[in-house]
Every structure is written in structure tokens, then in C-alpha cells.
Amino acid sequence: MINESRRGGTQASEVFVIPAQQPVSVAVAGGGRFPVRRVFCIARNYAAHAREMGGNPEREQPFFFCKPADAVLSAAEGESLRFRYPLASQDVHHEVELVVALGAGGENLDAQAARASIWGYAVGLDMTRRDLQAEAKAMARPWDIAKAFDQSAPVSAIRRATDPLPDDTRVALTVNGKPRQSGVVGDMIWTIPEIIMLLSRYYCLAPGDLIFTGTPEGVGAVLPGDELTATIDGVGELYVEVVAR
């Protein structure tokens, strides 16, 4: 609206009429900030998790959903985030995921361009109001209310890396020191370049976009007081404490 109004040309019309929000950004390992443009997520990208959610990994095409950029909760290196137990849910789940940060974009990317668009990697949590997701699924409604809530995307510092991650790179989560989720990048049904290629058929991808690449099996509920440690080999760690509202 502001940009449209600039065509009108008066100086006064160019002033923000409410305070403009700060750009969302994520810490970068070693220093600096990565500006976040959009947050894309792929669903059911590990076969064992697809089965635990009642899906069939052999037959399903991939599908995507989004979170708003300001759902991102950025951790500095070594920082423990405080995740407030969200509104309107009694069943909030953790999903540990590898996050890909894009430094380039475009539409209908080929495999080479998809690989070249990767700026770095981070550890993320796709926090999910599972009870609201179950209702949405039953009613054939969108997932936004289950996935796109405030603070629903805790993210570690981004590690600069352009090489593909080895297939045995482990994606794991403990809750209060007990193992809950574990898988390896090689278990992904759709590889990272494939995810980027697929997304670029639907969106003109851009620098600053984050992509959550799916979660391994073992998703489960969190409660206030829980301490989550998410780890990805060679990428980093993310510490989250769940606190009551």
C-alpha cells in the first residue's frame, strides 16, 4: 500500500503511518545476521515419519506449507531460547529439521542452480500445534493455524556452507537429555536440491528464503519446563526451553 501511494507523489504519503517493523534475521555462526524473507517447509520427507503420521511415503507427492518470517525465533551461538507454550493448544509437538538458507533464487531452477542457491545450513524446530493440525486435516482445511503461529520456528545460528551435507549427517533431538528423534540426511525422500527445484516450480525463490526440510520419526509433545537440544552434525546445536505462558 505504501509503495502504491508513492505514485501519488506527495512527501507525506511516503511516511509510514504506524511504526515499521524491524527486518527478521537469524544469527550467523562466526558473526553477522542473515535476513529472512520467507519460510518454506516440506511435509513428510522421511519415510518413517510419514508412516507415523498415517501417510504412505511410497505413493505421496511432496507438499509444502509456509510460516511467516516473524515466526522465526533466532538463537545466538550457544544461547538457550525460551519458547512460550503457544495459545490455543494442548498438544504442541517438536519436529527437528535441517534448515537450508538460500543466498540466491529464481524460478524453475535446474539441479545445478538449486545447489548453487544454498548459502548455508541451520538447525530448526518446526513446532506444531498437533491438535489443531488434526482438526484441520479432518476438515480438509489449511494447516496455517497448526504450523504458522508465533515463535513456531526456532532456528540456530546459520553455518555458511555450500557443499552438500554427507548422507550420514545426523539430525537428532533430545528432550530433558532423553533421545526423542534421530535420522540422517540420507533418509530424506526428496533431497535438498530436489526440494529447492520443486519449490521453484511454485514460487520465485529469493535470497533470504529459509527451507525446513522435514523431520525424522519420533515427534512428540512438549511441556513447560522441558529442555530441548537439537543437533545436526557439522551444522550446529539449538537449545530451547519450553516456558509456560
Residues that bind Mn ion (CB under 5 A): 95, 126, 215
Nearest distance, CB of residue 215 and Mn ion, angstroms: 5
Nearest distance, CB of residue 165 and Mn ion, angstroms: 18
Considering the complex, state which of residue 114 and residue 125 has its C-beta at the smaller distance from Mn ion: 125
- Single out the residue of 198, 32, 1, 179 nearest to residue 96, CA to CA: 179
Residue pair 169/233 in contact (Cβ under 8 Å)? The answer is yes
State the pairing for strand pair 210-212/39-42: parallel
83 conformational bin, left if phi > 0, alpha if psi -120 to 50, beta if neither? beta
Considering the complex, state which of residue 126 and residue 209 has its C-beta at the smaller distance from Mn ion: 126
Residue number closest to Mn ion, CB atom: 126
Considering the complex, state which of residue 126 and residue 187 has its C-beta at the smaller distance from Mn ion: 126
Cα atoms found within 13 Å of the Cα of residue 240, Cβ hemisphere only: 31
Considering the complex, state which of residue 26 and residue 126 has its C-beta at the smaller distance from Mn ion: 126
Considering the complex, state which of residue 44 and residue 159 has its C-beta at the smaller distance from Mn ion: 44
Nearest distance, CB of residue 55 and Mn ion, angstroms: 12
Q: Which residues pair with 216 in a beta bridge?
A: none
Cell numbers describing residue 127: 513446532
Provide the Cα torsion 2, 101, 178, 166; round to 10°. 170
Nearest distance, CB of residue 177 and Mn ion, angstroms: 23
Nearest distance, CB of residue 159 and Mn ion, angstroms: 20
Alpha-carbon distances, residue 28 vs 4, 75, 158 (angstroms): 34, 10, 5
Nearest distance, CB of residue 241 and Mn ion, angstroms: 21
Considering the complex, state which of residue 28 and residue 155 has its C-beta at the smaller distance from Mn ion: 155
Q: Which residues pair with 193 in a beta bridge?
A: none
How many C-beta atoms surround the C-beta of residue 172 within 10 A?
20
How many angstroms separate the CA atoms of 236 and 158, rounded? 8
Considering the complex, state which of residue 34 and residue 143 has its C-beta at the smaller distance from Mn ion: 143
How many angstroms separate the CA atoms of 13 and 217, rounded? 52
Nearest distance, CB of residue 50 and Mn ion, angstroms: 11
Its sign, for the CA torsion 131, 132, 136, 142, is negative
